[in-house]
Amino acid sequence: MRTIDFTPLYRSAVGFDRLAGLLESAARTSQENGWPPYNIETTGENAYRIEIAVAGFRPEELNLEVKENLLTVTGRRTANDDGAQRTYLHRGLAERDFERRFQLADYVVVIDARLDNGLLSINLERQLPEALKPRRIEIAGGAAPLIEGKKKTAA
């Protein structure tokens, strides 16, 4: 696998360090093993859902954490007491620990998470602050307002 050196970008561009960091993170993520599988879908104009296949994990074995626009989903299996009593002819269900990371855009927040039928669904929403939302400015009609200290003169 080929690695990309972003050092020249850091030296010649100001304010793009976050973008370069995202590219480096994406390059590292693509080298991961790809387990557990997941889907990312858009469910509305500013709504998203991440679904992760976590068959065999209980809710208390899963952890979600958001820190600095990075959503981290971890699964840690607790010891199974009945594992010694079972004899498997084929074992296809993975029971290993995992950690998945998702880089979130600015103002994207986790709304809720639900575990149902082996799928962990994480609902996200982009919540722009009022100061960033577009707003309509009313245009008043009539004479121009007087500027303090100056009188209108008739022409």
Residue burial 113-125, b: 16+ Cβ < 10 Å; e: rest: beeeeeebebebb
Q: What is the pLDDT of residues 22-35, one digit of tens each?
A: 666 666 655 556 78
Q: Which residue has the higher pLDDT, 11 or 72?
A: 72
- Quote the pLDDT of residue 27: 63
Average per-residue pLDDT for the chain: 81
CB 94 within 8 A of CB 36: yes
Confirm whether 9 is domain-assigned.
yes
- Quote the pLDDT of residue 93: 75
Q: What is the pLDDT of residues 5-17, one digit of tens each?
A: 766 656 655 566 6
Q: What is the pLDDT of residues 73-86, one digit of tens each?
A: 999 987 665 556 77
Q: In this model, does residue 39 exceed pLDDT 90?
A: yes
Please check whether residues 66 and 102 belong to one and the same domain: yes
What's CA 6's distance to the chain center, in Å?
Answer: 23
Query: Residues in the chain, how many?
Result: 155
- Quote the pLDDT of residue 10: 60
Q: In this model, does residue 68 exceed pLDDT 60?
A: yes
Please check whether residues 44 and 114 belong to one and the same domain: yes
Confirm whether 137 is domain-assigned.
no
Q: In this model, does residue 19 exceed pLDDT 70?
A: no
Confirm whether 113 is domain-assigned.
yes
**Which tokens hold the place of 69?**
């626009």
Q: How many domains does the chain have?
A: 2
Please check whether residues 98 and 25 belong to one and the same domain: no
- Quote the pLDDT of residue 92: 79
Please check whether residues 26 and 41 belong to one and the same domain: no
Q: Which structural domain, as residue segments, surrounds residue 3?
A: 1-31
Q: Which residue has the higher pLDDT, 141 or 93?
A: 141
Residue burial 54-65, b: 16+ Cβ < 10 Å; e: rest: beebeeeebeee
Q: What is the pLDDT of residues 49-64, one digit of tens each?
A: 999 999 889 999 999 9
Confirm whether 45 is domain-assigned.
yes
Q: What radius of gyration do the chain's Cα atoms show? A: 26
